[in-house]
Amino acid sequence: MSIVLLKTFHYLAILFAGGVLVGGGLIHAVFNRANQVPDINVSKVLKILGYLGLGALIILWITGIFLSNVIYGGFAINTAFTIKIIAAAFLLIISFIVNIHVYNSSKNQQPPNKSIMKMATMIGRGLILIVLVAAAIAFN
Ligand code: HEM
C-alpha cells in the first residue's frame, strides 16, 4: 500500500476518533446536566459512535504499524513516538472496555454507568491530546 494512502487513512481515522470523543462527550454532558438518561434513540447513536471510535482506533493502529515499518523500519523512532504509541494503546484498551460495557448494559436493558462513561470520556480526551502532542514532537 502506498505511503500516501496509508497516511490518508491515518488522518481520516484521527478525524473519526476525535469526532466520536467530542460528539459523544457533548451528548453525555448535555444529558448529565439536565439530570436525564439518554432516550432509546440517543442511546443507539451513542452505541454507534462507540463502535465508530473503536473502528477508527483499529484503523489508526493498522495504518500506524504499516507507516512505522515502511517509513522508519520499525517502532524505535524516538521517545516521543514511544509515548505516542503507549498512549494510543491505552486509548484502544479504554475504547474496548467502554464498548463492552455499553453492549452489556444495552443487553440487560440498563443505561450505561454514568461514572464509567464520564471517566472514560475524560481520560480519552487527555490521551488523544497526549498522542497528538507526542506525534507533533516525534515527527517534527
Ligand atoms: C490515537 C491514535 C493515533 C493518533 C491520534 C495519531 C496521530 C498522528 C498524527 C497527527 C500524525 C502526523 C504527524 C506528522 O506528520 O507530523 C501521525 C503520524 C504517524 N503515526 Fe500516528 N496516530 C495514532 C496512532 C498511531 C499508532 C498506533 C502508530 C504506530 C503503531 C502510529 C504511527 C504513525 C507514524 C509512523 C506516523 C508518521 C508518518 C510520517 O512520517 O509522516 N500512529 N499520527
Whole-number Å distance between alpha carbons of 87 and 116: 19
Distance CA 27, CA 25 (A): 6
Residues lining ligand 1, Cβ inside 6 A: 10, 14, 17, 57, 60-61, 64-65, 67-68, 71, 85, 88, 91, 128, 131-132, 135-136, 139
| C-alpha to C-alpha distance for 74 and 69, rounded to whole angstroms | 4
What lies within 8 Å, CB to CB, of 87 at 6+ separation is: 127, 130, 131, 134
Helix ranges restricted to H, the chain: 3-33, 40-72, 79-107, 114-138
pLDDT digits (tens, 9 = 90+) for 44-53: 999 999 999 9
The per-residue pLDDT for range 63-107, each reduced to its tens digit, is 999 999 999 999 999 999 999 999 999 999 999 999 999 999 888
Mean pLDDT of 35-57: 92
CA of 10 to the centre of ligand 1 (A): 7
Q: What is the pLDDT of residue 1?
A: 63
Question: Rounded to whole angstroms, how far apart are CA atoms 58 and 85?
Answer: 13
Q: What is the mean pLDDT of the chain?
A: 93
